[in-house]
Structure formats: C-alpha cells, structure tokens
Amino acid sequence: MTDPRERLIVALDVPSAAAAQKMVAAVGDSASIYKVGMQLYTAEGPQVVRDLIASGRKVFLDLKFHDIPNTVGSAIREAAGLGVYMLTVHGSGGGKMLRAAAESAKAALGSAPIVLAVTVLTSMDQNDLNAVGVADEVAHQVVRLARIAIQSGCGGVVASVQEAALLRKEVGGNFAIVTPGIRPAGSAIGDQARVATPAEAIAAGATHIVVGRPITGASDPSNAAREIIAEMSEIAAESRL
C-alpha cells in the first residue's frame, strides 16, 4: 500500500519562485510532491524545478506537451534530466507522440519520470468536443485516449474523479490516475464545477490527488495537507478490510 503522503500533490499555482518557496515552507513536511504548471514555469524556468528537487521534494511538471513526436521526445529528455517525478502530455497527440514520450522517459539516466496523458480537458463539455470534430461522448473519448496512452507505454492519465472508476473498469488496474478537482468536505469549490473529496477520489481508483487552493489558500496549509492525508489513510485502511 502506497503511503498516503505519497498520493498528495500540492499545486503551486503561484507567479514566482519566492511565492513558491513560501508555500512549500508553509506546507512543511506534510507533503512531498509539488505540481509546477505553466504559470510558474513560464515565469521562472527550470531553476524552480531544480530548487524543489534539491530540497528533497518531488516535482510533477504539468506542461501538457503536445507536438510532433520528435519534439515531445526531446522535451521529455530535458525534463527527465531535471529529475522530475511526473509530467504531462496531451493524449490527443496520438500514439506515435505518446510512444516517443514514454520511450524518452524510459531512456532517462536516473529514475524515469512517470508520463501522464491528459485525456479530455475537464473544461470541455460535450458541445466543445463536438465542435472540434469529435462526435463521440466525452466518457468514450476519455477511455479511448487512455487506452492509446497505456498501450503506448505511458504510466498513467490525468482524469476527473468521475472518470476514474470507469477507467479502472475499462482500461485496467496497473497505471496511475491523477485526479484534480479535489475539495475536502466543507471547503470552497472556487471555479471547479465537478468536485470530489480526497476519500472519494481514492475509492474511485485514483492513485494521486492534485490539491491547490484547499491547501495553498488555507490559514494553516500544513494542517490542511495533514487532514487530507488522514482522510486518504482512512479510506485506504477501509479498503484493506
């Protein structure tokens, strides 16, 4: 059983390295995996990633690569060289791109980063999907892209909690499912439309949860992270009974 602390990813949705450092210090030892996304990476570049890793944290580099296979493969070689733990590519880039991504990650000198495929962005609804030429239902498209990603050697997917159980049923058990849109009971929903609690995410088959504002916006981020981990520990203990 994975240590529940290893299932929590804190989203560093901040504009500067100074703000990121402040947040990491406020969370303290309660979490060890941090998501660096487009905003922080565009503002500060790879040094912010190097600094987090040098301080003993793991980094989920969420840049959602989507380009020709050679270009994505080359970018992933650089990310692997930085020592990131997880990273994202767009599943809709297709099998050749996903295979190039997976192979680049596996060729890393140190431990290979886990390549996660983003399926259908949760901001897209059925109409949006149809408008870009995909006639299928959102759920079918999510499963289709996840299958291609796993068959191409990727280590997992990013999906909503609502999709996690379907993916476990249709695609199998042996890959990572990273779920954002997490809100502990009683916390503010913010701009997320569909949310689930940490326990619901784990029960649905998620391996990791991404949590931003419920931790970064809390008056005591360290305690907020500990409470989320405790909630995941309970569900993990129950599922062993």
Q: Please tell me the distance from the alpha carbon of residue 15 to that of residue 171, in angstroms, as a whole number.
A: 37
* 64 in catalytic set: yes
146 forms part of the interface with ligand C5P (CB under 6 A):
no
Q: One of 64, 96, 106, 169 is an active-site residue; which one?
A: 64
CB of 13 to ligand C5P, least distance (A): 5
Binding track, positions 149-178, relative to ligand C5P; x by CB under 6 A: ---------x--------------------
Binding track, positions 9-48, relative to ligand C5P; x by CB under 6 A: --x-x-----------------------x-----------
Radius of gyration over alpha carbons of the chain, in Å?
A: 17
Binding track, positions 176-215, relative to ligand C5P; x by CB under 6 A: ----xx--------x-x-----------------xxxxx-
Q: Taking Cα atoms as reference points, which of 144, 143, 185, 178 lies closest to residue 161? A: 178
Q: Please tell me the distance from the alpha carbon of residue 175 to that of residue 152, in angstroms, as a whole number.
A: 12
Q: Taking Cα atoms as reference points, which of 120, 101, 124, 97 lies closest to residue 193? A: 124
- The residue written with tokens 């299958």 in the block is 147
Report 41-80 residues binding ligand C5P (CB under 6 A): none
CA 209 to chain centre: 7
Active-site residue numbers?
A: 64
